[in-house]
Amino acid sequence: MHYVNWDVNDPECPYNWDSKRRWAYTMLVACLVVSAAFGSSVITGRINGVVESFGCSEEVAILQVSLMVFGFMLGPLLWSPLSELFGRKPVYVGALFVYVIFNIPCAVAKNIQTVLVCRFFSGFFASCSLTLAGGSISDLFPTETRGNAIAYFAAAPYAGPVLGPIVGGWISVGTGGWRWIYWVNMIFAGVMWILVCLLPETYHPKLLAARAKRMREETGDPTYVTVEEEFPVPVSELVQANLVRPFIMLATEPILLLMSLYIAVIYALLYAFFFAYPIVFQGVRGFNDGEVGLTFIGVIIGTFFALLTTPIFEKKFRQVVHQKNGKPDPEDRLPGMMFSAPFIPISLFIFGWTSFPWCHWIGGCISGIPFGYGMVIVYYAANNYIIDCFPRYVTSALAAKTLIRSGSGAAFPLFINQMYARLNNQWASTLLAFISIAILPIPFCFYRWGASIRARSKSAS
């Protein structure tokens, strides 16, 4: 057999594409993630409008957010194996087209049941972006140069939800209703789908398979094949990697469980803010929907600061790689997380104790800056740590992380209103701060004892 592979400096290999082309692709993939995440929270700009239209409870209306995020949790179980079978582009094109369509019944629905069912399927199909984006970036950049691309991509799953209430709030103010929120979301998703249709395939096995087919046709020699064609991965193994192994690893790998829990708490706190901010800024200060949306600008500013500092952490990591002769420990990814983790409880304390009516509203807005900074750096470092700890089972590890993260993001909004009503604004925020303090030691413990824990693991490196 003649095994087809990339040549040195092969121009068809995505690693060797022009730098501008690869970064343009990376930015577009990040925008796909922003679009999906944006869709999950955009309706928070006018939740009360849905209550008024359908006469449902506020808790039922909040399910519009929770069910879409629940779809984010289940979708990756399908999209990840499909991308390995058919490549990235067909999955992007097919799934995102269906996502665009499911926005239509949301916008024209005559009852809340229609909206809720379509929101779940919107999340299920939109989750292909969240699932495949990391793989698309790894297709474009080899490990040694992937850090900066991952750093910028890390902000996308969090920047998208923050933009949602800003845009949704002003659509509500401008139209006086909530239906145009879904029309605008459909337009945004539709533009992203059109751009995806123009993208090339990046999945290396599929590109090599196309080359092998071309060589067989040109030479008439049927022995030109790829390794993947000669030894295909059984579907049963893909099912195990995406449906079975993630749960086994969560039950047996403390590093994966606790790091996924940390990411899940940060993600849940972000979605909690989408309902806590209106309680404080609308209920206490009398802001309208659009003005409440603008209070999230602080979180965006924090995200921007995180993007400015992630290259610094990446540079420090490369220095460690050089010092260790190209063999760093996974724990060398954790200093950024250790530095940024305290910003989360600080943000929550500021938000809670500036929510008195006699405190200036700017205090609550400023609280979003440390939160936005902390959540992006924490996710960037924790995600890299998980990848480096479980290189043999990275697909399963990331699937497990996504399950817990999306599950927490779906659950938290369902009880935030009740919690703030019963504890009051100050102590509800303080309780959330204490939760973030409780998990704060996790990266420090793994920095100290992570190597010994990995040494006893069957899955970790």
Residue 398 pLDDT > 90:
no
How far apart (Å, rounded) are the C-alpha atoms in residues 394 and 260?
A: 13
Strands 2-3 and 224-225: parallel
Q: Which of 275, 281, 273, 278 lies closest to 299 in space, CA to CA?
A: 273
Is the Cα dihedral 43, 48, 50, 53 positive or negative? negative
Q: Which of 2, 68, 70, 84 lies closest to 36 in space, CA to CA?
A: 68
8 A C-beta contact, residue 25 and residue 136: yes
Under the banding of pLDDT at 50, 70 and 90, the label for residue 454 is: very high
DSSP structural state of residue 447: H
SS3 344: helix
Under the banding of pLDDT at 50, 70 and 90, the label for residue 218 is: confident
Residue 105 pLDDT > 90:
yes
Residue 350 pLDDT > 90:
yes
Output the six-digit token pair for 443: 């990266």
Other C-beta atoms closer than 10 Å to the C-beta of 449 total 12
Q: Which of 313, 274, 260, 270 lies closest to 439 in space, CA to CA?
A: 260
Per-residue pLDDT at 8: 81
Give the pLDDT confidence of 288-332 residue by residue, as tens digits.
Answer: 889 999 999 999 999 999 989 988 888 888 888 888 888 888 999
Q: Which amino acid is at 378?
A: V
Under the banding of pLDDT at 50, 70 and 90, the label for residue 154 is: confident
Q: Which amino acid is at 419?
A: M
Give the pLDDT confidence of 247-275 residue by residue, as tens digits.
Answer: 899 999 999 999 999 999 999 999 999 99
Under the banding of pLDDT at 50, 70 and 90, the label for residue 452 is: very high
Residue 239 pLDDT > 80:
no
Residue 1 or residue 293, greater confidence:
293
Per-residue pLDDT at 83: 86
Options 1.10.10.10, 2.60.40.290, 3.40.50.300, 1.20.1250.20; CATH for 236-461 is: 1.20.1250.20
Return all residues near 241 (Cβ < 8 A) that are at least 6 apart: 81, 393, 395, 396, 399
Q: Domain boundaries in the chain?
A: 1-224, 236-461
How far apart (Å, rounded) are the C-alpha atoms in residues 355 and 349?
A: 10
Residue 241 pLDDT > 80:
no
Q: Which of 59, 73, 428, 57 lies closest to 273 in space, CA to CA?
A: 428
Region class of 176: left (phi > 0), else alpha (psi between -120 and 50), else beta = left
Give the pLDDT confidence of 33-79 residue by residue, as tens digits.
Answer: 999 999 999 999 888 899 999 999 989 999 999 999 999 999 988 88
Percent pLDDT > 70 in the chain is 100
Average pLDDT, stretch 431-441? 96
8 A C-beta contact, residue 302 and residue 370: yes
Residue 183 pLDDT > 80:
yes
DSSP 142-172: -GGG-HHHHHHHTTHHHHHHHHHHHHHHHHH
CATH number of 1-224: 1.20.1250.20
Average pLDDT, stretch 424-451? 95
8 A C-beta contact, residue 269 and residue 411: no
Per-residue pLDDT at 230: 79
Residue 202 or residue 144, greater confidence:
202
DSSP structural state of residue 118: H
Per-residue pLDDT at 458: 81
Per-residue pLDDT at 177: 87
Under the banding of pLDDT at 50, 70 and 90, the label for residue 368 is: very high
DSSP structural state of residue 420: H
How far apart (Å, rounded) are the C-alpha atoms in residues 160 and 173?
A: 20
CA distances in angstroms from 434 to 18, 119, 265, listed in the order given = 48, 32, 12
Return all residues near 370 (Cβ < 8 A) that are at least 6 apart: 302, 343, 344, 346, 347, 350
Residue 124 pLDDT > 80:
yes
Per-residue pLDDT at 324: 87
How far apart (Å, rounded) are the C-alpha atoms in residues 345 and 218?
A: 63
Q: Which amino acid is at 71?
A: G
Residue 1 pLDDT > 80:
no
DSSP structural state of residue 43: G
Return all residues near 291 (Cβ < 8 A) that are at least 6 apart: 169, 281
